[in-house]
Structure 1
């Protein structure tokens, strides 16, 4: 279960141009290949393969699709599983063979599901920021994406400062490698970050919470020539050019990750034996979906997953 699933859930049964009626939710799939269509060679997919699914499909012909970014497809409206194409909250899911990425035997299906979107989104944001090794990185928000970023960036050699208003999430951030945690409800995060960086500010910031207030703090705590990447949905990033012109900062966004980086992210996690499974606080059976969504909608716990 991903926070983005809540957008569809909260919309209810009212279809829109983007969300058709009776579309099965779920865009973080991992499982076993049960059937293979005609013309699919065994080196691409065969029955019994453990796989993750890159949850987008496009025309397969444009430059974006060919480079592994079907969500950026220019040849057609891309298909997003769980939103405008049936998703993974069902016993079976039909996808093009080209969306499959083999899942390492050392990784659980839960880990594969997380890597497919939430943890993969964190990876994509870090890739946009560039080499984080040896640098201070501030991660705003310590939900599943933010915690994944803290874990991955720490493993990649960054000095991570984690920001969140929930004490239990900050505690988990420390477990995942954060060297310092900040509760913005208790202190001014910008002031604390500048103190922690000897007055310079942070060279790297990743905003995952979707909070406009966090976005403002993210820009305010940047060092000269700093880079900020925004992945959290729902917030606004606003600034007066005159106020920030001399900072030479770079602002960017990151939208999940390519299918190439999905594979690279899984490789990195397997090689470094990162505890992705520890992101999950709730495991549900598919028949508990109604109960699971009610609980997940509270957004008071960690990540949830359907297992069967």
Structure 2
């Protein structure tokens, strides 16, 4: 059979250490387990009748095998595995290997019985790199391929979410511009509500979840012009073509011909994205903070920058979800006076902790417009940032703005406010803009703000592993959390 070599990750260096008997072996289990590992030898992966990749440790160097020897920095050099722990017990039947992944480290291996062999009492210990192996006593059918699977969130609609196994994705060689990113942080966004409580499950174009914020490490970058394997990146939600007039101007989210795919969505251990969507993340910025740059912090930052907010302004912010909290934090960082509104007491308190000067619950005020006029004083409200997506709040912002005031519609809404064109626009001459997402030019500015002390991570109230995704969505959309972040490798 033709041998082929599997391309590994960039971070692993050095030789491979495989116990000879740890791969599917037709000998008795006790004989296989007694084999000593051959350290420092090359390992080849062979394919057999589409039954997955099987490793055989061979005592050959690259030169002896008739190929060029490969150094530790060669892109296909294998990386060192730690010694595999001994397996206690015995099994009269054949055995095979199950591989579990951990971030930025080598594979931990757990050997299990291929069939439910009578008399099997193998007790596979947890690898130090995989302390919680998935289904360590699972029995594989005889024709089950040895695959390395990732975990991903699947949004089922009707407020349902589950977590499933998928084969690790690969870039599409036909496009030549896709990369695979190992997702280290994937925040939940309020715009995902439409997929979460929609009437049907996601599945169009093989997209299984609506995750679009994230940061991670490039795992596969075959022929990429912009990133290399091992690069730390922020995943921008837009996939720009790079040549239309909007992309040239830096407005990626307005691209006329967005290329590529985001499979299966950022709420996964690995995701396929267009290489242009990967923005570099500096080493001194955490993955969690970087994941907030694209949308949660980046979207209000773009609106605030376009409106020219300064320390002389009084700013009204309606809604204290993740976008509203980030807007509050940014305006406070710019020394603007901030008035925040929300009907959720928990999120209103989060706004106070993020630096709001005045917090008001509209449900407790008999006349909210009169109350805002009292707080703002004779100068009035200079800037309004509508982050709740509620039509009533949009109308309130238009009413509360002073003459020649500025306003941004940041929240995603399917309906709009009640507009009096004469009173709101003609006589007051206000300026209203919309903001859909951040621009790539905002990325370095946000990094600079974090280095100067912007506490972007303070808006995160819950960090949960990918297996807790159903609880995370219930918590987030139930209004019991501010910003929830999934950590796929926790």
Does the pair score TM above 0.5? yes
> Is the partner of 1:281 in helix, strand or coil?
strand
- Paired position in structure 2 for 1:37: 222
Q: Which runs of 5+ in 2 are unaligned?
A: 1-187
CA distances 1:215-254 after superposition (whole Å, capped 9, x unpaired): 1111111011001111112241221222232111111111
Is 2:61 the partner of 1:61? no
> Is the partner of 1:118 in helix, strand or coil?
coil
Give runs of aligned pairs for residues 253-292 of structure 1, distance below 5 A.
253-268=434-449, 270-292=450-472
The one of 303, 319, 329 aligned to 1:141: 319
Counterpart contact for 2:265–2:271, Cα < 8 Å = yes
Mapped to 2, the partners of 1:66 and 1:208 lie a distance apart of: 28
Q: CA RMSD in A?
A: 2.1
Mapped to 2, the partners of 1:79 and 1:224 lie a distance apart of: 45
- Paired position in structure 1 for 2:474: 294
In the TM superposition, residue 105 of structure 1 has moved relative to its aligned partner by 2.9
In the TM superposition, residue 107 of structure 1 has moved relative to its aligned partner by 2.5
The one of 250, 255, 261 aligned to 2:431: 250
In the TM superposition, residue 295 of structure 1 has moved relative to its aligned partner by 2.8
TM-score by length of 2: 0.57
CA distances 1:95-126 after superposition (whole Å, capped 9, x unpaired): 22222222233322121112221111111221
Is 2:293 the partner of 1:115? yes
Which structure carries more strand by proportion? 2
Counterpart contact for 2:261–2:272, Cα < 8 Å = no
User: Which deviates further from its counterpart, 219-228 or 240-249?
Assistant: 240-249
> Is the partner of 1:239 in helix, strand or coil?
coil
Give runs of aligned pairs for residues 173-188 of structure 1, distance below 5 A.
173-187=351-365, 188=367
The one of 413, 418, 429 aligned to 1:238: 418
In the TM superposition, residue 31 of structure 1 has moved relative to its aligned partner by 1.0
Mapped to 2, the partners of 1:221 and 1:96 lie a distance apart of: 43
* Pair 52,15 (structure 1): closer, same or farther in 2 beyond 3 Å: closer
CA distances 1:145-188 after superposition (whole Å, capped 9, x unpaired): 00100001111221111111122222222222211111111123
Counterpart contact for 2:202–2:208, Cα < 8 Å = no
Mapped to 2, the partners of 1:255 and 1:216 lie a distance apart of: 19
* Pair 108,69 (structure 1): closer, same or farther in 2 beyond 3 Å: same
The one of 188, 191, 204 aligned to 1:4: 191
> Is the partner of 2:402 in helix, strand or coil?
strand
Which structure carries more helix by proportion? 1
- How many pairs were matched up? 298
Q: Which runs of 5+ in 1 are unaligned?
A: none
In the TM superposition, residue 21 of structure 1 has moved relative to its aligned partner by 5.3
Counterpart contact for 1:70–1:78, Cα < 8 Å = no
Counterpart contact for 1:206–1:229, Cα < 8 Å = yes
* Pair 154,103 (structure 1): closer, same or farther in 2 beyond 3 Å: same
Is 2:229 the partner of 1:47? yes
Mapped to 2, the partners of 1:79 and 1:246 lie a distance apart of: 46
> Is the partner of 1:33 in helix, strand or coil?
strand
* Pair 144,39 (structure 1): closer, same or farther in 2 beyond 3 Å: closer
In the TM superposition, residue 14 of structure 1 has moved relative to its aligned partner by 4.8
Is 2:335 the partner of 1:154? no
- Paired position in structure 2 for 1:218: 397
Counterpart contact for 2:206–2:264, Cα < 8 Å = no
> Is the partner of 1:287 in helix, strand or coil?
helix
* Pair 36,78 (structure 1): closer, same or farther in 2 beyond 3 Å: closer
Structure with greater Cα Rg: 2
* Pair 160,225 (structure 1): closer, same or farther in 2 beyond 3 Å: same
Counterpart contact for 2:224–2:275, Cα < 8 Å = no
Mapped to 1, the partners of 2:419 and 2:283 lie a distance apart of: 47
* Pair 116,282 (structure 1): closer, same or farther in 2 beyond 3 Å: same
